[in-house]
Amino acid sequence: MRKTSVLLLLAICVLIVQAGFGQVKIAPLNIKERTLPNGLKVVSLQDNTTPTVAIHVWYDVGGKNDPQGRSGFAHMFEHMMFKSTRNMPNEKMDRLTEDVGGFNNASTWDDFTNYYEVVPSNHLEALLWAESDRMINLNVDETNFASERDVVKEEFRQSVLAQPYGRFYEYISSLSYLKHPYKRGVIGNLAELDAATTKDANDFYKTFYRPDNAYLIVVGDFDQKQFDAWTDKYFGKIPKPGGSIPRVAEVEPEKTEEKRHLTTAPNVPFPAVAITYLAPPSKSADVPALRIAETILSGGESSRLYQEMVYRQQIAQEASFSADIRVDKGLLYFMAIASEDNKPEALEKSLLAELKKIQDAPVTAKELEKAKNQLIMRKLKELETNDGKAIAIERAVAYQGDPKAINSDIQKLQAVTAADVQRAMKTYFNDNNRVVIYYRQAETNKAEANGSK
């Protein structure tokens, strides 16, 4: 994976002082939207308080769109986008950003891929030109393809194979889904990366990297009229390709019985367990309640799971609940890594006991208020920078289909009640719709570690 506003800070301080946190009210961001004739959606937010600008180009293609038998392809292609184009040599994006005191990066998610730069605002035009150039003029040749495939393969080795729990997180996806391409994960695997060809890369580029499959999101110090003119100049000239864009049609079926899996790896110091459930799609009205439950259960050392399993029982060195919300059905999962001499059976029992507690009784008013404060402060802090605002807009596009949805995020969190949290935890979790995954060191390696044959 490639990787303050004074007024806002004052507003945050005022909000914190208000009794019981109250109902936070912030002015909606004045987001502008338009669509070019070629289908490119343009979102802009002018903020001239600092002389910087954040440029994000968001493509509606992610790991779920990997071609059959080519898992990890969207991620690999993300790397390709930093190679040469018809008009730029390799690594030119670094020169256009880092050499002027800015930065650039990109990331691939299950549902989308994003590219972004933050630079002094007088370099905005150059970056608009560069982003438009790699949207249409990328050199997808054998040399670039082979070098970036090797980079991604090494990333897989380091982040999955070499890490004690790297395979574990891959199993959480692969074993929790029966049908949906989310089961393949984003990073892919070595065999399918090896099978990929330059033709595959060219086909992928032509299929998904097109203006009518993208958003241009720009936040910061610019003149709106000038920005619109530059956008028309550099992106408006890109023709809209013919043909339709393939979309994922698979629907993950609801689970009707518990599934259990024992998985192993050669370098697991302590056993682990994951208990997974399907999450609602990202547009579900239950998402804010699930976010609050996530914070109450595993938001720091004062959270329920840490206090019970790590501090009181001392059976786990790590315990968490994650609401991995995606466009389609994501995952809601409990996870724990055992402390010394403890077993996954004990972890599973304790995790399910904590689930039952939050289902059987409403969370306390204090817990609810604290979780809301944590989440709201996180959102307010995100909005302190131009890049943070651009990221928030990008996520609103990805998961709500509306860049202006960020203007209602805080209100939705504030509206959640203890009854909403309890109802959500009852709705999506029961004995017949879970997948339980045990993760241990492979027996052969245990024997070798003990000096046995």
pLDDT digits (tens, 9 = 90+) for 401-431: 999 999 999 999 999 999 999 999 999 999 9
Give the CATH H-level superfamily of domain 259-449.
Answer: Metalloenzyme, LuxS/M16 peptidase-like (3.30.830.10)
Give the CATH H-level superfamily of domain 30-234.
Answer: Metalloenzyme, LuxS/M16 peptidase-like (3.30.830.10)
User: pLDDT per residue over 27-52, tens digit each?
Assistant: 899 999 999 999 999 999 999 999 99
Give bridge partners of residue 274 from the DSSP assignment. 335, 437
Per-residue confidence band for 19, with pLDDT thresholds at 50, 70 and 90: very low
Residue 10 has pLDDT above 90, yes or no: no
How many Å apart are CA 51 and CA 62, to the nearest integer? 32
Q: 165 near 335, Cβ under 8 Å? A: no
Instruction: Report domain extents, the chain.
Output: 30-234, 259-449
CA-based Rg of the chain, rounded to a whole angstrom? 23
Domain 30-234 and domain 259-449 have a common topology: yes
Structure-model confidence comparison of residues 6 and 246, the more confident one: 246
Residue 445 has pLDDT above 70, yes or no: no
Sign of CA dihedral 297, 301, 307, 313: positive
pTM: 0.91
Q: How far is Cα of residue 138 from the mean position of the Cα atoms in its chain?
A: 25
pLDDT of residue 443: 81
- Give the H or E element holding residue 119: strand 113-120
Per-residue confidence band for 26, with pLDDT thresholds at 50, 70 and 90: confident
